[in-house]
Amino acid sequence: MWCMYMSDVAFESLTPAEWFRRNKEIAGFSSPSRAMYQTVRELIENALDATENHGILPSIKASIRYVDKDKDLYSIYVEDNGIGIPEEEIPNVFGQIFYSSKYKIKQHRGIFGLGAKMVVLYAQSTSGMPVRVTSSMKGSQYIYTYEISIDTVKNKPVIHSHVRVENKYGWHGTAVKVVLEGNWQYAKSRIEEYFTRTAMITPYAEIILIEPNNEVLRFNRITTIMPKPPVEGLPHPSSIDLESLKQLISRNSDIPLIDFLKENFDGIGDETVREFMKTVGIRASKHVKRLSESELRLLAEKMRQFNGWRRPRADWLSPIGEKILANGILHVLKPEAVFVTTRKPSSYSGHPFIVEAAIAWGGSIMPVDKPILYRYANKVPLLQDEGSDVIRHVIDEVDWSQYKVKFPAPLAVVVHVCSTKIPYASAGKEAIADVPEIEKEVRLAVREVARKLKVYLARKEKEQELLTKYAILRLYTDEVSSALSFVSGVDENVIKGKLEELIKRKLGLDIRAGPPAITSEVGNVAVA
């Protein structure tokens, strides 16, 4: 029966470009407002990676302009001062799905290398206009501009124009302009929040956004200290699968298995590889390209099961750092105090990761019924799907009363996870999945900064008690000093000064000045 109806079935294949064009919702382009936000986010992330990953202090300019209000068409422009893109690579970078520099074991803001291409696909699907890309490499004599769209049938770039001009002023970087259908009314608050949260963890960046109504959102650079750039790493043996193993072998010369393992994987030394080879049952001297299919399957399985591997190295990760994070939070949230910690590296499934956490208290933070949460993954703000995020789950489980927090309270929590592979809960990259190892580190980091907050609040309580006692005792100084002056004949003001000095000394207050505010550091606390 199955064969009888085969002639009625039409089979076809889709290129990656056509598939993503039809399924743009998967990449976050589900509506005009969401598409505007996603476009800004993708272009800003690329701009930051092109600068800070190469030791350049970011200066990023963005603008959103009306093109046709009746048709809800907007132009979005983002310019950076990064290293630029090689001229011959621009068409493929913006015009071919799954062509990227992000398919390496390295900490990236992006994960799929798909963002810029999705922007192009959405733009040409809604406005019919190509993307305009202008770039110049650092030290290049020329500035080059392309207008590009994507041939979705062939998954190839279509070059509409290509111009090269002399680089008279030594500019370097990349500028991207797209015209697309959007909804500024609904996207405005989300885009502004994205810029604010980005500025909070990149206080070393200068970021400017010009909105359609010509309002300017500006974040000035407040420090020149930058995180160390991430570097490319090697795969950890416990994260390998059969197909990855085959690809590694195909890219290597025909060398002995023992040398292949030491040269292509993280944390495998002479002693470790000898112990591992005892569990495999394959000759260490056998050349890798002569391994049979069954031997490859066995090797991949044993690599995942072996418990003797060293923990994945994390020195190629790029955490924000306590000082930078504290500066950014103080500048944006303007709290009374901020407490920061960077946890030691950990790993899940062979992937290294680092968790950073901060608590901001008081100041400009309004009292709320539960902690305000700022989530970040590889320095990218996560604005949506908060309820699905492991960080939110951890924060909700904390008994804040143990840390002297009574709601409503002016409390904000910031958590950043950086890794060579962030386990996102969905393709939208807006929530981190419930991975036990990450959940544990987030919980430990939050508890650590919460304990620092508890010490700070306990000191504030103690100070308030002392100030209350001081105020009560001072109520009697006028009457007592007047009576003593009458009895002793000593000037009343002299006696009053001595009494106040005695009260301060007994209460442990600074006798050189009036009642002090808390200014001492408690752990990593910065007082605004």
Q: What is the pLDDT of residues 393-413, one digit of tens each?
A: 999 999 999 999 999 999 999
Q: For residue 152, is pLDDT > 90?
A: no
Confidence of residue 497 (pLDDT cuts 50, 70, 90): confident
pLDDT tens digits, 211-232: 999 999 999 999 999 999 888 7
Q: Which helix or strand (DSSP H or E) is residue 295 part of?
A: helix 293-305
User: Mean pLDDT across the stretch 123-148?
Assistant: 94
If you write DSSP's letter for every residue of 35-55 in order, what string do you get?
HHHHHHHHHHHHHHHHHHTTT
Confidence of residue 517 (pLDDT cuts 50, 70, 90): very low
At 360 the pLDDT is 97
State pLDDT tens for residues 6-42: 556 666 667 766 766 776 766 678 899 999 999 999 9
- 323 in the Ramachandran plot: left (φ > 0), alpha (ψ -120 to 50) or beta? alpha
Give per-residue pLDDT as tens, 165-191: 999 999 999 999 999 999 999 999 999
Q: Parse the chain into domains and list their residue ranges.
A: 16-219, 237-305, 341-449, 455-527
17 alpha carbon, distance to own chain's centre: 27
Per the annotation, where are the binding residues? 46, 80, 101-102, 110-117, 429
Residue 122's closest CA among 175, 83, 73? 73
Q: Residue 281: helix, strand or coil by DSSP?
A: coil
pLDDT bin (cut points 50, 70, 90) of residue 493 is: confident
**Distance (Å) of CA 324 to CA 199, 320, 408, 497:** 11, 6, 28, 45
The partner residues of 210 in beta bridges, in order of sequence, read 63, 216
What residue has token string 């500024």? Answer: 184
Amino acid at 499: L
Residue 512: which residues within 8 A CB-CB, separation 6 or more? none
More confident residue, 374 or 269: 374
Q: Which long-range contacts (CB under 8 A, 24 or more apart) does 253-257 make?
A: 254/287, 254/288, 254/289, 254/290, 255/287, 255/288, 256/284, 256/285, 256/286, 256/287, 256/288, 257/282, 257/283, 257/284, 257/285, 257/286, 257/287, 257/288, 257/291, 257/299
Bridge partners (DSSP) of residue 418 are: 354
Top-level class of domain 237-305: mainly alpha
Q: Mark the binding-site residues for ATP, compressed into ranges.
A: 46, 80, 101-102, 110-117, 429
Residue closest to 175 by CA, chosen among 37, 39, 38, 61:
61
Mean pLDDT of 424-452: 91
Q: Topology of domain 341-449, per CATH?
A: Ribosomal Protein S5; domain 2 (3.30.230)
Sign of the CA dihedral with 375 first, then 380, 383, and 384 last? negative
Region of 65 (left: φ > 0; alpha: ψ -120 to 50; beta: rest) is beta
Record: fold of 16-219: Heat Shock Protein 90 (3.30.565)
Residue written as tokens 């476009």? 39
Higher pLDDT, 495 or 352: 352
Q: What percent of the chain has pLDDT over 90?
A: 53
Contact call for residues 175 and 135 (beta carbons, < 8 A): yes
Does residue 266 carry a pLDDT above 90? no
Q: Which tokens in the block code for residue 199? A: 């500025």
65 CB-side CA count, 13 A: 9
Give the pLDDT confidence score for residue 45 in this predicted structure.
Answer: 92
Q: What is the pLDDT of residue 502?
A: 77
Average pLDDT over residues 253-279: 88
pLDDT score of 483 more than 80: no
The Cα–Cα gap between 307 and 192 comes to 47
pLDDT at 117 over 70: yes
| Residue 345 contacts residue 354 (beta carbons within 8 Å) | yes
Question: What is the Cα–Cα distance from 178 to 84, expressed in whole angstroms?
Answer: 18
- pLDDT > 70: what percent of the chain? 86
Question: What span, in angstroms and rounded, lies between the C-alpha atoms of 40 and 76?
Answer: 7
E strand intervals along 137-261: 142-151, 156-166, 173-181, 206-210, 216-219
The least confident of 298-302, 307-311, 328-332, 435-439 is: 307-311
Q: How do residues 60-116 score in pLDDT, each as one tens digit?
A: 999 999 999 889 999 999 999 999 999 999 999 998 876 655 545 567 676 555 678
User: What gap in Å lies between CA 421 and CA 163, rounded to an integer?
Assistant: 38
Q: At what angle do helices 115-126 and 32-52 cross, to 10 degrees?
A: 140
Q: In the beta sheet, which residues pair with residue 376?
A: 381, 416
Q: Is the pLDDT of residue 521 over 50?
A: no
Please state the length of the chain.
528
More confident residue, 221 or 421: 221
Terminal-residue alpha carbon distance, the chain: 78
Residue 97's pLDDT is: 79
